[in-house]
Structure 1
Amino acid sequence: MTAPVRPPRQPRRALHGVLLLDKPRGWTSNDALQKAKGMLRAEKAGHTGTLDPLATGLLPLCFGAATKFSQVSLDADKTYRATLQLGQRSTTGDLEGELFDPRPVQVDADQLAAACARFVGEIDQLPPMHSALKKDGKALYEYARAGVEVERTPRRVTIHAIDIVAWDDAAHTLVIDVRCSKGTYIRTLAEDIGTALACGAHLAGLRRTASGPLRLDEALTLEQLQAMSEDERLSHLRPPEVLLADWPVVTLAADEAARLLAGMRRRVALPDAAQVRVHGPDGALLGSAHITAGQLIADRLLSPPEVAGLAAQRGAPLRPPDPIAAVTA
């Protein structure tokens, strides 16, 4: 019998930009990244912070030059919509674990608001055992699955706001929007709110709705991406500077841009700034920098091939950034 002929594998290519993905439930962040990377035939890709398999929502994916700025999105504040099931705890803090300790739920709107308000501001959270945080090179969830509990150090996080979206008194489910700093464990917050209400709680659903300036309502699902042609997929690839969208912009003349890309500091008549994004005269992103005592000092620069690649991609309908401030040096 003749073996079936497989179609030739499509070659990978250098792509530069950011794709906003709506990660499905049950997928790891890396699974979703690899699927999108394959559909775009991209050479280099990375994501900007892990979402648990049970969580859904915004997962910014970085390709090529954009991976140089993925840490910015990783460090950015996040917004989540969380569903809390009151009246019962879970061994993992969410639906993956076994439920235990059922208790009656007798709370009113004022008590719910007061319990949520207790956790707004800077707080210390004890990382859950069922998390990807590592100790001695091993993820905590690996210890937990082996029945071992290890000592953990509380971490200081900031919860900027908790807004109550809905409360179902009959089902004992509370839906909240949480805007918080990186590293905040929403399942731990759910358990803490349940403790504050004296009825226990666990996380029944989680959806990330924002990461820094990026929003879920502009994201695509894997199904939508799969149904598109190759050109349509490319049309949704945003330029790398969307990761830096709330940074001031410095625009350099061509000769100054070349010197900056060569690693030279540039003299600018601009105030000190901890972080700016730098563009050439044609609008192309050159990299990130800071300004100290009238000097523009590069932090992360694109390579000449990356700058050229981005210029070539501008033949495709890449979506431009929306800077909050632009100055010319």
Structure 2
Amino acid sequence: MNQPRSKKRAISGWVVLNKPYDFTSTQAVGKVRWLLSAAKAGHAGTLDPLATGILPIALGEATKAVPQVQDGIKVYRFTIGWGKATTTDDTEGEVVATSDVRPEQGALEAVLPRFTGTIMQRPPAFSAIKVDGERAYDLARAGETVELAERPIDIDAIELVSHSPEESVLEVTCGKGTYVRALARDIAEALGTVGHVTKLHRAAVGPFTDDDAVSIEELEAAEAGEARDALLLPVSVGLEDIEEIRLDAGQAKAVSHGNAVLLTGANAPVSVDECWVSFKGKVLATGHVEFGQFKPGRVFNL
């Protein structure tokens, strides 16, 4: 006899998961969704299976704020293993080149400024970027030669954490679309050697950091119901990096029906590219302000 399926709940909020090693982002979302019996779930930014760290998982209405979190600044701590290049630019791939050159600390520190600001980066062949409708990693695994075009990325800061002849640990603060595996590959090339990522940890995504993170074990250990629900962060936390505008009751009612509203008051903004509006602390909508009017893009039903 089949066991009855657990009833799915219309629960909303964020689980800031410390994704374990060798776990896909899709597996992580499925596990969290099952543990919380959530009707709807998604994640804000894929992490490779071999990476650990911050994977923001949105439940319910929080899924409407995924784009804002994905666009946020990210922090990664990663280790470059010197002397070997791989097909995937990490430990999963086959070794395709070796070098006896081991960069000195001073040389490494001197080259890092080249990798800050807006730079051009060629994504790894083993990436999720689509080529003629196919994922690049599917083509690469099928034995096809994949040459992806360079594209601009933004790197705010990169610093050396520790260094030895065999490996170096770095921390990078960067924008959306940065491939750390490609960054490691290019740093090694600039130093006249080869290298690949041996460890990768995402320490921050938008407003979320390691301090907010919970593990799958902590979720499993918490009793189902209020104790487990208490590990969720409010939907509004995912919007902390963009401006909040507080509405009155009349404005809130109009926005909840998807209507634009004129913002009043001495400090009311005239133009805002991206913002969210609230009433009594509750998220009502994300959108923008144009000519003093808030125009909703996505309306939240909280």
1:218 aligns with 2:218: no
Q: Is the 8 A contact 2:83 2:102 kept in 1?
A: no
Corresponding residue for 1:291?
Answer: 289
TM-score by length of 1: 0.87
Query: Which moves more between the two structures, 110-119 or 54-63?
Result: 110-119
Corresponding residue for 2:182?
Answer: 188
Q: Which amino acid aligns with 1:201?
A: G
Task: Select which of 51, 58, 70 maps to 2:54.
Answer: 58
Q: Which amino acid aligns with 1:273?
A: V
Alpha-carbon shift at residue 254 of structure 1 (Å): 1.3
1:88-146 Cα deviation digits (max 9, x unpaired): 21122110112243222343222011122211111111121111111122111111111
1:195-219 Cα deviation digits (max 9, x unpaired): 1111211111101000111102211
Aligned counterparts of 1:67 and 1:164: Cα–Cα separation in 2? 35
Task: Select which of 144, 159, 168 maps to 1:174.
Answer: 168
Task: Select which of 233, 239, 251 maps to 1:238.
Answer: 233
Alpha-carbon shift at residue 6 of structure 1 (Å): 5.9
Alpha-carbon shift at residue 76 of structure 1 (Å): 1.5
Count of matched residue pairs:
297
Q: Which amino acid aligns with 1:279?
A: S
Q: Structure 1 unaligned runs (5+)?
A: 308-329
Q: Percent identity?
A: 39
TM-score by length of 2: 0.94
Aligned counterparts of 2:37 and 2:296: Cα–Cα separation in 1? 31
Alpha-carbon shift at residue 181 of structure 1 (Å): 1.0
Aligned counterparts of 1:32 and 1:148: Cα–Cα separation in 2? 30
Q: Which amino acid aligns with 1:287?
A: A
Q: Which amino acid aligns with 1:21?
A: L
Q: Is the 8 A contact 2:86 2:95 kept in 1?
A: yes
1:123 aligns with 2:123: no
Alpha-carbon shift at residue 35 of structure 1 (Å): 0.5
Aligned counterparts of 2:103 and 2:62: Cα–Cα separation in 1? 47
Corresponding residue for 1:45?
Answer: 41
Q: Structure 2 unaligned runs (5+)?
A: none
Q: Is the 8 A contact 2:125 2:147 kept in 1?
A: no
Q: Is the 8 A contact 2:90 2:198 kept in 1?
A: yes
1:187-246 Cα deviation digits (max 9, x unpaired): 111011111111211111101000111102211111111111122220011111111112
Corresponding residue for 2:277?
Answer: 278
Task: Report 1:8-19 matches (<5 A).
Answer: 8-19=4-15
